[in-house]
Chains A and B, each alone.
Chain A
């Protein structure tokens, strides 16, 4: 099994997402509030993971632009749950690096008022593991 394939399976296992359910309607991207900040958009995330173009994804800042607001999860008519997939890619990356970016206690000093609440909650969820 190639590394890419293994990585894809890892991401799918972490996220529980089946990208094949996607019918490429783009509703996720239509709903995404961070769309303009992204190089790759939610529907592309799904396609890229399915295609195995994961390195491209890992190298992109788009990964970190997702606010985990779950609008895409809520709107997706096929229950593909792109946000969960994005989360899976992030975790896969973190695991590759074999460490957390942050410790939970490191987060409070970094907070600022402009950060959306959802992002903070999401950060706690991710980094406190």
Chain B
């Protein structure tokens, strides 16, 4: 795949379709790849990489990149194409300045999962088809790829690229995923249990803003939490209320816009399952207002900028069975 991508990128650079390429750059190790912009075939040859650890959602970089001179080639995974559509719908990117190449995706690996499987001191990772052979300072280890999948990929919502100018390989299909299972499990707990669960999770928050800054839906010119005029600006969880405020408001601001790409949980240094907040809103929206997938359709009206006369009352929350 990597070779095909480099080849195609060079062609598009050569024929003038694009003047730069948004992809991933090789790092110190197999897994620490970095999103990067490549302007020449030489740069591509030098460090362009595409492997199982290219999990970052590149669409957010297009907010800035698509406003620059000339067209940018962007390699996008199915997840990233949903985000691009959503950003297009919100006029956050200039779609005409993007040449999107959709990539097939069978799920990305999570290096944390490898480490959790006991691989310490990773010096190399060899792709063995269904397995990874992990070379470490303390010996080799084999881990099934399925066990190393990121959570969001294990519960993949769609392998379909929903917007692209060209596809590399076959387009996938929307998946019948179990992504709401954990949300449902939480819903079925008692309020006390839910409170204990979230208190435990959110109390770890260090307000590093990685979730927000990685989120393709959080592209505000100025976030309310950074804006002293907003009245709720803060940079530290000075009280446990602040953690909740930040995460509730953030989830609310992206409600109906979040494509469930899972970047928030991927980047959280404290491993807080933030996607469970967004998925709660997605699940509620699906159940109360009809199925909706943000980013699936550029022309769709988001559920929070829409209504029907017959919408349920907020008391529906109070009438739910489990307390």
In the complex they form, whether A and B have CB atoms below 8 Å apart is answered with no
Give the interface of A toward B (CB within 8 A).
none
